[in-house]
Amino acid sequence: MNTGIVFSIEEFSVYDGPGIRTTVFLKGCPMRCNWCHNPEGLEARIQVVKSPNGCLHCGACEAVCEHKDGCIACGKCIAVCPRNLIRFSGTRYTVPELTERLLKNADYLRQAGGGVTFSGGECLMQADFLMEMAASLKGKVHIAIQTCGYAPTEKFLKVLSVVDYVMYDLKVMDRALAVRYTGCDNRLILENFQKLSESGVPFVVRVPLIPGVTDTVENLSEIAERVQQSAALGVELLPYNKMAGSKYALIGKAYDPLFDEKREPNIDTAIFCEKGIAVKVM
């Protein structure tokens, strides 16, 4: 049986699909979006993260470490930090363990028109675990996924066959710009989008509004065009999170936006409304 690595479970979420939901954030993402606000989710392995706030610079964590050239997440430094600034990021779950945890609130979630959402990172990075989880939850609670769609089509189709609802990201439509800002060619994403549209699974398109990158008239028009030709229920616009950079210190990396993060994003709902597309700003 597969196990999965989860870096967060959020209860009572109203932003991750219909109704009130429990959202499971699976670790690992194949993309490297320049505006990512959840860098803890990028690596598909358990990590040790360190908060820089309140550090005494006592050196205890360094003194105990035997793997300075590459952390092996042994956890020795966690035990010696007098300020409890160091922790594991990522918990390994078996399917029965996570199922039990998620079904505790199942009655309430059902009554609230909600369910469980698998997000990330990118939940399709752990597609085998995700499929086993969905099979285990099927019929007991509504199951949604939030995905960038960058996954082998065969795996994507298998996941689609076991979920009830999809939130699918369309970010950068120009191929060269997609590579520059997300680290990935967008052809696979657009091919999988077509498969999703033909699958019969209800879905919405999510668009992060990044100033000067995804919020341009050209990019949004191209997204609107695709959405209009698809079976999408609508579009959800997510304005840029100005706190995006705040978590990079945890993983020991610098946040380096390639866009003007001080500029307000262009929240252009008209581009979608004109085409008769239901649009919501999140």
Chain residues binding ligand SF4 by CB under 6 A are: 48, 50, 55-61, 64-65, 67, 71-77, 80-83, 85-86
The DSSP H or E segment spanning 279 is strand 279-281
Q: Whose Cβ is closer to ligand SF4: residue 103's or residue 249's?
A: 249
- In the complex with ligand SF4, the residue whose CB is nearer, 71 or 273, is 71
Nearest approach, Cβ of residue 86 and ligand SF4 (Å): 6
* Cβ closest to ligand SF4, residue 60 vs residue 157: 60
Cα Rg, the chain, nearest whole Å: 20
Phi, psi at 242, each rounded to 5°: -70, -10
Contact 204, 233 (CB under 8 A): yes
What amino acid occupies position 233?
L
Question: Residues with Cβ < 8 Å from 23, sequence gap 6 or more?
Answer: 8, 9, 10, 13, 16, 116, 117, 118, 119, 146
Nearer to ligand SF4, 49 or 166 (CB): 49
CB of 255 to ligand SF4, least distance (A): 20
Please, what is the minimum distance in Å from the beta carbon of residue 249 to ligand SF4?
Answer: 12
CB of 254 to ligand SF4, least distance (A): 18
The distance of closest approach from Cβ of residue 50 to ligand SF4 in the complex, given in angstroms and rounded to an integer, is: 5
Nearby residues of 210 by Cβ (< 8 Å), 6 or more positions away: 34, 35, 171, 181, 240, 259, 265
Q: Shortest Cβ distance from residue 76 to ligand SF4 (Å)? A: 4
Per the CB < 8 A criterion, the answer to whether 150 and 30 are in contact is yes
Nearer to ligand SF4, 87 or 110 (CB): 87
Q: Residue 146's closest CA among 188, 208, 89? A: 208
Is 64 or 233 the residue whose CB approaches ligand SF4 more closely? 64
